[in-house]
Structure 1
Amino acid sequence: MKTRTPPLTCLALGYLGLTSVLVGVWALFLPRAFYDRFPGFGIWVAGDGPYNEHLVRDVGGLNLSLAMLIWFAWRRPDHVAAPVAGWAVLAYAVTHFLYHSGHLHTLTTQADRLGSVAGLLGAVACALILVRRPLT
């Protein structure tokens, strides 16, 4: 008998998957545009230092790999345990949050600072929702 995936787990997987696909595709295929304009309403990457295409493309590939893992967990949570996706995201999301929290001075407006922290905390919160489920 198939168990029902809790709605909060589906929501967390959906949010993480969508944001990973958006960042991954943008950074991997349009790295300069990602560097210059991410997240589209402010400049969150360019203020942190000189452009590095290799680094930005790596970020894109990382996000697409996470998106694939999250997509499989969302599609078949009974085959790919949602907690595994949560731990994978958590390993990235916590360090990403810590880095940017220490570099808020690179963002030019208070709205950008708040938006950055909120988005990064959203990923951490979603990952924590997923890891709270026991692995079976």
Structure 2
Amino acid sequence: MLRAGLVVLALIQLVVGGWTLFFPASFYNDVPTVDWTPPYSEHLFRDFGSTTIGIGIVVAAAAIWLERRLVLVALIAYLSYSVTHLAFHADHLNADSPGWSAVLLAFTILSVLLPLALVPAALRRPRVAG
């Protein structure tokens, strides 16, 4: 369960990061809700994409090695993004788009709950001697 959850989180970060880094205008224009907070900035989107890829790499490394400290650091890094992302979007829902607002809120809540659910499994991993 732990490895599978980490793989899912890593894939999400790597796909979103790659899309944002290499096709920033497409990400802005084609992902519902992203354009709710204009203006578009290619620089900002490319920076966000590369940072998201970085988090994805750390989470992927945690999935490969499953070392307790690495897994916890990866989950904390993921949560540092997903909790603040949820807080922002919970306060910036679009009143004239209730359907997309509900979808956005559901996905951002899941982006916090999944890594949180993995923390207990990470804590049960044995410590590496050394």
Q: CA deviation at 1:124?
A: 0.6
Identity of aligned residues (%): 30
CA RMSD of aligned residues (A): 1.8
With 43-52 and 77-86 compared, the bigger mean Cα shift is at 77-86
Contact preservation (8 Å) 1:85, 1:130: no
Q: CA deviation at 1:80?
A: 5.8
With 97-106 and 28-37 compared, the bigger mean Cα shift is at 97-106
| Residue identity matched to 2:108 | L
Q: CA deviation at 1:104?
A: 0.6
Partner of 2:35: 46
Does 1:84 pair with 2:77?
A: no
Partner of 2:115: 127
For structure 1, the residue ranges without an aligned partner over 5 or more in a row are 1-6
1:10-49 C-alpha deviation (Å, 9 max, x unpaired): 23212211110111000000001111111xxxx2111211
Partner of 1:23: 16
Whole-Å separation in 2 of the counterparts to 1:121 and 1:110: 16
Whole-Å separation in 2 of the counterparts to 1:119 and 1:126: 10
Q: CA deviation at 1:77?
A: 0.5
Whole-Å separation in 2 of the counterparts to 1:114 and 1:22: 22
Whole-Å separation in 2 of the counterparts to 1:102 and 1:79: 34
Whole-Å separation in 1 of the counterparts to 2:100 and 2:85: 16
For structure 2, the residue ranges without an aligned partner over 5 or more in a row are none
* Length, aligned pairs only: 124
The SS at the match of 1:104 is: coil
What is the TM-score when the length of structure 1 is the normalising length? 0.82
Contact preservation (8 Å) 1:37, 1:44: no
Identify the structure with the greater helix proportion: 2
Whole-Å separation in 1 of the counterparts to 2:105 and 2:68: 33
